[in-house]
Structure formats: structure tokens, C-alpha cells
Amino acid sequence: MRIATYNIHKGMSQFNRRMTVHELSGQLKQLHSDIIFLQEVQGENALRAKRYETWPRVPQHEFLAGSLSHRVAYGQNASYDGGHHGNAILSRFPILNWENQDVSVNTLEKRGLLHCEIEIPCWPQTVHCICVHLNLLGHDRTKQLRVLRQRIESMVPDGAPLIIAGDFNDWRQQAAKVLTHDLQLREAFETLHGMPARSFPSRLPVLTLDRIYFRGFKIEHAQVHAGQPWSRISDHAPLSATMRRV
């Protein structure tokens, strides 16, 4: 199974200079991903819809899922005049159910955990997928990771395959203490390359903000897609991984 995670910056380039959602659609096709975890997905933006003639007429998650022939779940996190954005999970396989849990800890950063249960043909168990986008401040992320841990312990059966991916904003790598030590998960890129992937900023990545944590799989390949053409699309670089069920 091939997965990817990407903070798409609301379909705009770095510093919001260009609309990039159509380029994004084309590049996502090149990844051939079965499941895609997206952050900062623009569900609606009335001002940009008026400004850009080619702005999609449907929400970005529906536009991207349609271009890939994937199913989609969207979790609205932030709402404001004329728009809203959040996380999305796109899946080649059926999404049996999903829930978006509000984990906001202040009024400025509205965050959620988008949790989907996905059915893979011929697999005895469903795969639990959680898309995350955590806060900028460390003490806020600590609170959100505590909620994430509680959700997994109460909602995900022991031994069920699990993937948690997204933008952790965790340049000090504090999340690993909860996810790898307490929950016994592994990080895809670190498993193969010894450290998490540098994914921000996309033009010259130095910070390890984006991650793919998992259990119940063997990682065969993990890659950060930095440089052109990805650096023209968003301020983050996407990550992809190929994994096999064990």
C-alpha cells in the first residue's frame, strides 16, 4: 500500500503568490497513492473564488478526490467569514466511517483529528487512519498529543493496523516520546533513513515537521518530495511511503 501526507497550504503557493490547486492535482496523480493525508484543505473561500477564474467550483477535497477517483472525508477545523479549512483523507478504498475531533486549545489555532476507518479488500481488519495538524507551540502540542493518545487507546482495537500522518509542527521532535515510546509506533522515514524527513520550507527543507507514524506494517520505501515542481505548490514538501501489511 502506498500513502502520502501533504500540507497543501490551502491550494496556494508559498506567501500566497499563486493559486496552485490544479498543479497539485496533477502532481498527486504522479504519486499513485492509495491513501493521502492532507492538511490545510480549503473547503470554501469566497474571496479567492471571485479573484481566480479557475478556482474549483467545489471544495478542494472534493475536487482533488474527484481528479484521483478516490473517496474522501473532510474535517472542518477553522471557520471564518466566507470560508473554512481543515484536514482531509483521500482513499482509493472504501471509507467505512469517519469522525473529526476538535483538539483546539486556543482561539487562534483551530485544530482537529480526522479519524477514518478504511476497508482494504481481502484484509481481515480495517485500517485506522488519523490525519493531524498540531499547534505551533510545544505546550499546546503536548495537550493535543495527550488527546490523540486517549483516542487511540479508546477507539482503535489492540493490534489493528494504524497510520497517523500529517503536519506535527514538531521541529524539536517531542511527539516521538508519545507516539513511539508510549504507543509503540514507528515513523516511516526515520525507520529507513535514521531520522524524520526534512520537509519545511519546501524550497530548501530544514525542519522535520511532517511525519508518517504506523504500526502493523513493514516500510519498504519512504521519500520526501522536495524541490521542483513541489516547491512551487506549497510551503511544505509532501512525504510518501510504501508499506506492506505484516
Q: What gap in Å lies between CA 216 and CA 225, rounded to an integer?
A: 25
Q: Which domains does the chain possess?
A: 2-245 (3.60.10.10)
Average pLDDT over residues 241-245: 97
**Could you tell me if 72 and 38 are in contact, meaning their C-beta atoms sit under 8 angstroms apart?**
no
**Mean pLDDT, range 103-108, rounded to an integer:** 94
> Is the pTM of the predicted complex or chain greater than 0.85?
yes
Cell 481488519 appears where?
125
Q: At 46, which helix (H) or strand (E)?
A: helix 46-51
Residue 163: which residues within 8 A CB-CB, separation 6 or more?
Answer: 3, 35, 37, 127, 128, 129, 130, 212, 213, 214, 217
Summarised one tens digit per residue, pLDDT across range 214-225 is: 999 999 999 999
Q: What's the CA gap between 110 and 112, in Å, rounded?
A: 7
Is the pLDDT at 172 greater than 90? The verdict is no
Contact 90/70 with Cβ under 8 angstroms?
A: yes
Q: Mean pLDDT over residues 95-110, rounded? A: 96
Do the beta carbons of residue 241 and residue 2 sit within 8 Å?
A: yes
Residue 72 confidence (pLDDT):
98
CB 6 within 8 A of CB 37: yes
